[in-house]
Amino acid sequence: MFDVLVYVYENYWRPDACPDPEQLTRKLSAVGFESDEIQDALIWLAGLAESAESGTGTGTGSGPQSMRIYLPSEMELLGDESIGFITFLESAGVLPAPMRELVIDRATAIGEPIDLDALKIIVLMVFWSLGEEPDALVLDELFVAPEDRLIH
Amino acid in position 152: H
Give the per-residue pLDDT at 16: 85
Those residues with Cβ within 8 angstroms of residue 16's Cβ, 6 or more apart along the chain or in another chain: 131
pTM, 2 dp: 0.83
Domain boundaries, the chain: 2-148
Q: Lowest-confidence range among 12-16, 91-95, 102-106, 111-115?
A: 12-16
Give percent above pLDDT 70 in the chain: 83
Question: What's the gap between Cα 137 and its chain centre?
Answer: 16
Rounded to whole angstroms, the Cα distance separating 115 from 81 reads 8
- State the pLDDT confidence band at 152, using cuts at 50, 70 and 90: very low
Rounded to whole angstroms, the Cα distance separating 47 from 62 reads 21
Using CA atoms in the order 42, 29, 130, 138, what is the torsion angle rounded to 10 degrees?
110
Q: Which of 116, 118, 126 lies closest to 85 in space, CA to CA?
A: 116
- pLDDT of 125 > 90? The answer is yes
Q: Sign of dihedral through CA atoms 116, 27, 56, 99? A: positive
Rounded to whole angstroms, the Cα distance separating 52 from 59 reads 13
Rounded to whole angstroms, the Cα distance separating 141 from 97 reads 19
pLDDT digits (tens, 9 = 90+) for 34-67: 999 999 999 999 999 998 888 654 444 455 566 7
